[in-house]
Structure 1
Amino acid sequence: MLVTDLDGTLLGGDPLWRRAFYRWLVERRERVLHIFCTGRQLSSIASLLIDDAAFGLAHPHLVIGDVGCTVACGISLKTVPGMVDPIDARWKGLPERLLPLLEALPGVASQPISTERRLAYTLDGEAIDWQRLVALEAHGVDCLVSDNRYLDVLPAGVNKGSTLLTLLQWLEIDPERVVTAGDTLNDLAMFETGLAGVMVGNAEQALREKVSCLPRTYRARAEGCAGIVEGLRHFGFGHLLDDFPGFPL
């Protein structure tokens, strides 16, 4: 199972490498279970798959979206009730309490994102009152900042990593057959699961600092898709990569 972030990871790197890697995913579809694990909402993923179809990007088998708050079929993009219902229960009643507090918080602006299980904002790091932001977590949420400009307000304990582990149990997948890949702080929770992780070469500095103590996270030198290939080789899946004799640095 290959679990990839989108922006900066699966959508990152040299265009030639992206095309080659997307083609490889299509050709290995019966052997490699591919999961998008992204901050994007389902409508954004649907648009991406249409826009990048000519580029070669195919539907994944499954999607973990909204930074872990949504799980959907990769083909239909319909949510999987058994996975999202528990998250819905955690989220119930939280927006009504949080929205007035967030509207009064300087340095944040609402993103035009429609989702039932999280709130999304852009963030001005110089204007925000960090103490007030942290205080919001007492209401039963986690406030996740990534790429130093995005703020996601999530049900407490729900993130890319927690949802991925639940999905692995549901699918009865051997954790040793799983590789994750990402580039920003919202991918840290995936790496903290203890699953094999690939931090691609173009990762943000804040993530680089956080993964330094995580022994199962490989720090790739190559960027984007080439970094994913580099990481797969590192974790012993080179036999699946006969079309990729090397990688650019």
Structure 2
Amino acid sequence: MTRHETFARPTIADKDFVLATDLDGTFLGGTEESRRKFYSWIEESRDRVGLIFVTGRDPGHVRDLTRRRGVPRPDYVVGDVGTTIAEVDDEHFLAPIAPLEAEIAAAWNDAGMRVQAALRSVPGLTLQSSGFRFRVSYDMDPDRFDDRAFDIVAELGLDALVSADRYFDVLPKGVSKGPSLLRLLTHLGVDNRKVLVAGDTLNDLSMLTMGLPAVAVGNSEPALISALEGMEHVHRAREEGVGGIAEAILHHKLLQ
């Protein structure tokens, strides 16, 4: 190689394995020692391993995790419960992928104020302060929550999703973690057979049921485990958090 020649950085489609993982309770879960070891393995294996965060968290939170809290920087993020699809640059900034988000924006159709007005009188819902682009999110009190909220959201032509029995998200129709992740993988040309999908709550259900190799980590929400009954492509890990992810990589034989 001459001094003027450089090696092209491998794309995520070229890598041997891609981890598409939820954050809270999954990639951020497990013991401090297991996280330290797993994160070190990710960093040492960047030439072979691709990393996608599939999370309910917003871009600002993801950037804070990777810049300030020692969490490996992902290649891509499916954030805001599937309503953000973005590439992550070397400075940890998230750049939305416009062709993939156009359909999401159209399905949302600036529904934020309509959603807030329609759900204002529903007990047990407290509006979250973050200003999301294509969703409205609430903290939910399960003891006070009124199920008619689901009917209200359906009448608006949107989808409602409850997770961890304490969050209530209103999303564009047909948009959630699973469909958005699948669109990203297709856009990137990634072979789905080398992808491991990891999660722990009901808002991960749509990506765990896509048929890709998957894992529900050891500390998963009981309602998620029940919903996954009979799905042989999903490994039910004994270990929590990243320990469960490592367990599933071996179980599915995804890396030599």
TM-score (norm 1): 0.92
Match of 2:162 in 1: 145
Q: Which runs of 4+ in 1 moved over 2 A?
A: 131-135
Identity %: 40
Match of 1:104 in 2: 121
Cα deviation for residue 154 of structure 1 reads 0.4
Amino acid at match of 1:208: I
SS in 2 for 1:72: strand
Whether the 8 Å contact between 1:145 and 1:152 is mirrored in structure 2 is: yes
Whether the 8 Å contact between 1:67 and 1:159 is mirrored in structure 2 is: yes
Q: Does 1:160 align with 2:177?
A: yes
Match of 1:40 in 2: 57
Match of 1:244 in 2: none
Amino acid at match of 2:84: T
SS in 1 for 2:160: strand
Match of 2:15 in 1: none
Match of 2:86 in 1: 72
- Paired residue for 2:48, among 27, 31, 41? 31
Structure 1 unaligned runs (5+)? Answer: 240-249
Q: C-alpha distance in 2, partners of 1:131/1:213? A: 30
Which protein shows a greater Rg?
Answer: 2
Match of 1:226 in 2: 243
Q: C-alpha distance in 2, partners of 1:85/1:51? A: 31
Match of 2:29 in 1: 12
Amino acid at match of 2:88: G
Cα deviation for residue 221 of structure 1 reads 0.4
Q: Deviations over 1:101-134 (max 9, x none)?
A: 1111111001122211101110011111102333
Cα deviation for residue 238 of structure 1 reads 4.5
Q: C-alpha distance in 1, partners of 2:44/2:195? A: 19
Match of 1:49 in 2: 66
Q: C-alpha distance in 2, partners of 1:170/1:38? A: 19
TM-score (norm 2): 0.89
SS in 2 for 1:33: strand
Whether the 8 Å contact between 2:115 and 2:136 is mirrored in structure 1 is: no
Whether the 8 Å contact between 1:191 and 1:214 is mirrored in structure 2 is: no
Whether the 8 Å contact between 1:143 and 1:151 is mirrored in structure 2 is: yes
The CA RMSD measured in Å over matched residues stands at: 1.2
Q: 1:216 to 1:236 in 2, by over 3 A?
A: same
SS in 2 for 1:78: strand
Cα deviation for residue 94 of structure 1 reads 1.8
Cα deviation for residue 65 of structure 1 reads 0.2
- Paired residue for 2:232, among 196, 215, 225? 215
Amino acid at match of 2:123: P
Q: C-alpha distance in 1, partners of 2:254/2:179? A: 24
Cα deviation for residue 26 of structure 1 reads 0.7
Q: Does 1:94 align with 2:108?
A: no
Number of residue-to-residue matches in the alignment? 236
Q: Deviations over 1:178-224 (max 9, x none)?
A: 11000000000011111111000000111111111322111000000
